Amino acid sequence: MSSVKNVINDSYKLMLLKDYLREAIKESGFADVDIQKTPTGTRVGLHVTRPGIVIGRKGAGIRDLTKVLEKDFDLKNPQISVIEITKPELQPSVMCNRMSQHLARGTAFRRAVMWTMQTIMNAGAMGVQITISGKLRGERSSFEKHSKGILPRAGHHADVVVSEDIVHVNTKMGLIGVRIRIARKEKYIPEFELKAKQEEAPSKVKEIEVEEKEITAIEEISEDSSKPKTESELIAQEEELVKSVETFEEAEEELK
């Protein structure tokens, strides 16, 4: 029984740690945390979309976070490493946090659902399913489930391809729960694969591709100044775009 209690205790502490990090570093786009115990201490890997916010000026953010993990969560000699997420739109935890911020700002839940689904599919997902439950409109609790694309429901592919996360948000109507499941194409392994030999392109084509890459790199550098620096700034920019999303009710009224 002692080993079972240790597993339950570690899982409970990990849940509390994730809840704390979700609020403490939410501006950095927190997605997940990895904890590995070593002879010299504890390795803590933070998966975020904006590592600079977690690190802080001259590492001040890392030092403050290390003290909290060591004092409040009893982690021995925590060694924090920050890992940047390349595609945040394909991480269920990141999209759950963004959708919860939209709901907290008073955005209609169906508009928030449609916008989140559209953003995930545009990022290259194979499929997405969003379940929202709670006091959505009236005093009675209800739930709605929306899906788009291909999403394996059972079997080996569902365990490998699909990842999910759940978040709860307090609104004026009450507590609302959001569950997002995302199926990623790059994790899908087909049973059969046909490999064809690719002919080498001439050198002129390669030179053109290099020039195009340099141009796109210059454009990305020029656009960096207009990009949002925190998650709150991103949500504020998306707030006007979410209002233009057409819901099922509006589409039905147009058909009448």
pLDDT tens figures, 152-173: 888 877 888 899 999 988 888 8
For the domain made up of 89-191+245-250, the CATH class stated in words is: alpha beta
18 neighbors 31 (Cβ within 8 angstroms): no
d(CA 28, CA 50): 5
- 133 backbone dihedrals φ, ψ, rounded to 5°: -140, 160
The pLDDT value recorded for residue 133 is: 92
- Where does CATH 3.30.300.20 sit in the chain? 2-86
- Where does CATH 3.30.1140.32 sit in the chain? 89-191+245-250
The DSSP bridge pattern shows strands 41-48 and 78-84 to be parallel
Whether residue 14 is predicted with pLDDT greater than 90 in this model: the reply is no
Helix (H) / strand (E) element for 160: namely helix 156-161
169 neighbors 104 (Cβ within 8 angstroms): yes
Prediction pTM value: 0.74
pLDDT tens figures, 50-65: 888 888 888 888 899 9
Architecture of the structural domain at 2-86 = 2-Layer Sandwich (3.30)
d(CA 91, CA 77): 29
Tokens of 180: 């997002």
